[in-house]
Amino acid sequence: MKKKVFIAGHNGMVGKALQRVIGNDDYELITPTHKELDLINQNEVDIFLRKTKPDFVYLAAGLVGGIYANSSHPVEFLYNNSMIQNNVIFSSLKSNVKRLIFFASSSAYPKFSEQPIKETSLLTGSLEPTNESYSIAKISGIKLCESINKQYGSDLGIHYQSLMPSNLYGEGDKYDSLNGHVIPSLIKKIHEAKIKKSDSVELWGTGKPKREFLYVDDLAEAANFIMRLPQSKLTELPPNLNVGIGIDITISELANYITKIIGFEGNIVFNSNMPDGVPRKILDSSIINQLGWSSKVGLEQGIQRTYQSFLKNNSF
């Protein structure tokens, strides 16, 4: 009999990548629609998990966005994410789910963490103000998983692991120039400027911050890799495990890179009156690398795939 796998957030970018990576050959995938299951409703989540009895849970559901979205809607980012993750995690425990992977975020690390950021940096300093609500929600989920492992792990033979990916991008992302993440926002802005034959594109900030970008299928591969580890290996992991590629790039360099791929011939103009976010963010992913996982998709290949996905799913 196939193992049952519940993917919470299966229609999101990470959820779709998980389905591509895991497939249906070895597992029975459980992917309810929002009408079938409201993850913010604790009672619905309890009943659903008791009925379906999944063996594994991937918790990829949640509200995500860029600097503007986080700054403009802190209530939704804190409340929605906290409710969704805590409902799924705690109901999984009550339903005796043995393995769960919670997709947290590297934004949960302090704003001025030593670079590259080690897992031990969590809760050692203040957060970046522009995404504080989102980060606090993610920290809560990390700590709930950690507490469950400490209190019930050895007795019940379970392990709930939080992953800390660097900045994600890839197929299925939201191409929103105001509310989206960095790469899809840049793709949309620069592509539209090319279509309109604009002389320039204005981007937020100074262009100086450095970021590490992880293609979403690489994250799905990492999650599948961790899910398959034996219990003895899992118990040795830090509660928040970094997943990155080990290379970062300035936003200015990234914008120029995307400009060349898209073929935009105008200028990139940075509005330094708008926020930059954290000055640098690159993860120390040596622990997961030493276990045997490493990223496969380079930045050029990943951006080209992402741009082709954008063109395929949008008409101009």
Please give the radius of gyration of the chain, using alpha carbons only, rounded to the nearest integer.
19
Q: For residue 177, what pLDDT is reported?
A: 66
Catalytically active residues are 134
Say how far apart CA 303 and CA 300 lie, in whole Å: 5
CB 13 within 8 A of CB 216: yes
The structural domains of the chain, with segments of one domain joined by +, span: 3-174+212-247+281-297
Omega before 116 cis (within 30°)? yes
Say how far apart CA 268 and CA 299 lie, in whole Å: 20
Q: Is 42 buried (19+), middle (13-18) or exposed (0-12) by CB count in 10 A?
A: middle
φ/ψ bin of 158: left (φ > 0), alpha (ψ from -120 to 50), beta (otherwise): beta
Q: For residue 108, what pLDDT is reported?
A: 96
Q: For residue 276, what pLDDT is reported?
A: 87
Say how far apart CA 245 and CA 297 lie, in whole Å: 9
CB 169 within 8 A of CB 183: yes
Question: pTM to 2 decimals?
Answer: 0.94
CB 272 within 8 A of CB 206: yes
Q: For residue 179, what pLDDT is reported?
A: 64
pLDDT per residue of the chain (316 residues) written in tens, 0 to 9? 789 999 999 999 999 999 999 986 689 999 999 999 999 999 999 999 999 999 999 999 998 877 777 888 899 999 999 999 999 999 999 999 999 999 999 999 999 999 999 999 999 999 999 899 999 999 999 999 999 999 999 999 999 999 999 999 999 888 876 667 789 999 999 999 999 999 999 998 999 999 999 999 999 999 999 999 999 999 999 999 999 999 999 999 999 999 999 999 999 999 999 988 788 999 999 999 999 999 999 999 999 999 999 999 875 5
Q: For residue 315, what pLDDT is reported?
A: 59
Say how far apart CA 217 and CA 145 lie, in whole Å: 24
Tokens 């293609």 label which residue? 215
Tokens 């197929």 label which residue? 171
Domain 3-174+212-247+281-297 CATH class label: alpha beta
